[in-house]
Structure 1
Amino acid sequence: MTELHQAAAAGDFDQVEEILRQNKCDPNQRDIDWSHKTPLHWAAAKGHTETVRILIEHGARPCLRTEHGWTPAHLAAESGRLAVLRLLHSLHAPMDKEDCCGDKPVRIAEIYGHHDCVRFLKKAEAECQAYRKMAAQKGISMDDTDEEWEEQGKENEENRISKCNIQM
């Protein structure tokens, strides 16, 4: 866990700002000991809205996923962090990505009984999909895909298929 991960998890805005200002840590570095969470995942889970904002302003990608496919929106939904979900949505973060079990943030909020988050996420999902469609039509670039996670998913699927073929 980097110094930036620790400061983001603790909600130490001043420390996060200083680390980012000095370019001491990559805001998108994944912590392999903690399910590949980035500092943004930690800040979102803990409800540190202003830390989420400054991380994104300094290049943190809200589309990056943990090893189980969770985006920062999944983590905010799990802990009922409505303000963080609103902020992520306002910054066009993906609010509708499925994790490795097929669950979107709205389902995670349902599981944990965060009804205000569920109501918001149902609306945000539709708006997110409409914005993605409009962006594609207008040629607006969107950062809503975690290439590393997608590639790992392909490798896992290929390994599963080859194992099935060997067993046959």
Structure 2
Amino acid sequence: MTELHQAAAAGDYDLVQEIVKRNKCNPNQKDSDWNNKTPLHWAAAKGQTEVVRILIENGARSCLRTDNGWTPAHFAAESGKLPVLRYLHSVRAPIDMVDCSGDRPIRIAEIYGHRDCVQFLEKAETECRDHRRMALLKGLPLDETDDDWEEERREVDQQKRARSQKKLCFVSTKKKDKCESP
């Protein structure tokens, strides 16, 4: 965990500001000891809206995902941090991304009983999708993809398919053996 991760998790706005202004740490550094959380994930989870703001203003990417596919919006939804969700939406962060289990932040907010977040996300998701469509039509760039995470997902999917193929071959061989027995 970097100094920036710690400062963001603690909500130490002044220290976060000092670190990012001096370029002492990469605001998009993933901490492999903590499921690939970035400082932005920590700040969102803790409801530190001003820390979220300063991180994003200094290059933190709101689309980066943890190893289970959570974005900062998932963490804010889990802990019921509506001001963080509002801010993320205001800067066009992807607040409707699906994690490894197929859950969007709105589902996480529902699970944890954060009705105010659910109500906000119902409207915000629609606006997010509309913005995405408009940007695509106009050829505007969107920062909504965590390439490293996507590559890891492809590798995991390939490994799953390979294991399934082996199981199918094994089952098929066993059935064939049984069928050929007198």
Give the TM-score category using the shorter length: over 0.9
- Partners of 2:166 and 2:109 in 1: CA distance: 40
Indicate the SS of the match to 1:66: coil
List per-residue Cα deviations over 1:33-76 (Å, max 9, x = no partner): 11100000000000000000010000000000000000000000
**TM-score (ref. length: structure 1):** 0.99
List per-residue Cα deviations over 1:10-53 (Å, max 9, x = no partner): 01000000000110000000001111000000000000000000
Aligned identity (percent) is: 64
Per the alignment, residue 72 of structure 1 pairs with 72
Per the alignment, residue 127 of structure 2 pairs with 127
Name structure 2 gaps, 5 residues minimum: 170-182
AA partner of residue 52 (structure 1): V
Return the offset for 1:164.
Answer: 1.3
- Partners of 2:129 and 2:63 in 1: CA distance: 14
Indicate the SS of the match to 2:161: helix
Indicate the SS of the match to 2:120: helix
* Equivalent residues, number: 168
Per the alignment, residue 30 of structure 2 pairs with 30
- Partners of 1:166 and 1:84 in 2: CA distance: 46
- Partners of 1:88 and 1:59 in 2: CA distance: 14
List per-residue Cα deviations over 1:135-159 (Å, max 9, x = no partner): 0011111101111111111100101
Return the offset for 1:166.
Answer: 1.9
- Partners of 1:160 and 1:137 in 2: CA distance: 35
Return the offset for 1:165.
Answer: 1.3
- Partners of 2:157 and 2:47 in 1: CA distance: 34
List per-residue Cα deviations over 1:107-131 (Å, max 9, x = no partner): 0000000000000001111100000
Per the alignment, residue 93 of structure 2 pairs with 93
**TM-score (ref. length: structure 2):** 0.91
